[in-house]
């Protein structure tokens, strides 16, 4: 199924499908679980538009490149161009908020890191970014207080709270816009908390973004 942005009630959003700009290492507990090193500069990377797929009713994962890990993240849909934008400008250029999975080929990523090479192929493969429907920004009075969770086969795996982000949503988008011009229809992924792990064929996933979203989906291969 071709991807198109939709709101959380299933209505199509009249924005093009653009790139996905992501931040890594934005929750301390995830940095610790990955035994990663921190740096003062933000870690930004891009998934192409071809990574985007609808999260429901199911999505597929690769089967020949090792473990595919879940990374549940708040997704932000941009509706106006942002270049060298201030925090205030960012806040007026957000269409809405949702949840996305930053699917990661973990073994491929580890091998590329060891070689000192870029690891886009571990993050940007076709279908690497399943996305749910977006909640309009007007309904989200305190985006920096959003809470979300992922359960796999009925077991809680990830639990996130935007208040625990190292860089807040508007601040990170402002910083992103210093490097990459964000265009209408682009997405921003805001980082994942601890609890990443491998997904298997026929796993059932339930993702929640309080109080608006409760999404159920199935992993295919």
Percent of the residues in the chain that have a pLDDT greater than 70, as a whole number? 97
Instruction: Give the tens place of pLDDT for each residue, 171-202.
Output: 999 999 999 999 999 999 999 999 999 999 99
Q: What's residue 39's pLDDT?
A: 66
Fold type of domain 20-220 = Fumarylacetoacetate hydrolase; domain 2 (3.90.850)
Q: Where are the domains of the chain?
A: 20-220
Tokens of 196: 């990443």
- Secondary structure string (H, E, C) spanning 175-188: HHHHHCCECCCCEE
Q: Alpha-carbon distance 125 to 38, whole Å?
A: 26
């Amino acid at each position: 199924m071709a991807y198109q942005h939709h709101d959380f009630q299933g209505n199509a959003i009249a924005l093009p499908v653009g790139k996905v700009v992501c931040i890594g290492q934005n929750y301390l507990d995830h940095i610790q679980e990955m035994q990663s090193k921190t740096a003062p500069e933000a870690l930004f990377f891009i998934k192409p538009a071809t990574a985007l797929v609808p999260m429901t009713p199911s999505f597929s994962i690769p089967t020949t490149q090792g473990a595919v890990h879940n990374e549940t993240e708040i997704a932000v849909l941009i509706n106006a161009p942002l270049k060298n934008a201030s925090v205030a400008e960012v806040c007026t250029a957000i269409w809405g908020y949702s949840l996305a999975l930053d699917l990661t080929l973990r073994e491929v990523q580890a091998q590329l890191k060891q070689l000192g090479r870029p690891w886009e192929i571990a993050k940007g493969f076709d279908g690497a970014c399943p996305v749910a429907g977006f909640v309009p920004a007007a309904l989200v009075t305190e985006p920096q207080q959003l809470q979300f969770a992922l359960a796999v086969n009925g077991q809680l795996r990830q639990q996130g709270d935007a208040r625990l982000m190292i860089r807040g949503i508007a601040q990170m988008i402002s910083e992103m816009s210093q490097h990459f011009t964000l265009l209408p229809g682009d997405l921003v992924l805001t980082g994942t908390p601890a609890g990443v792990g491998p997904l298997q064929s026929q796993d059932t996933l339930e993702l929640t973004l309080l109080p608006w979203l409760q999404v159920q989906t199935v992993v295919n291969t």
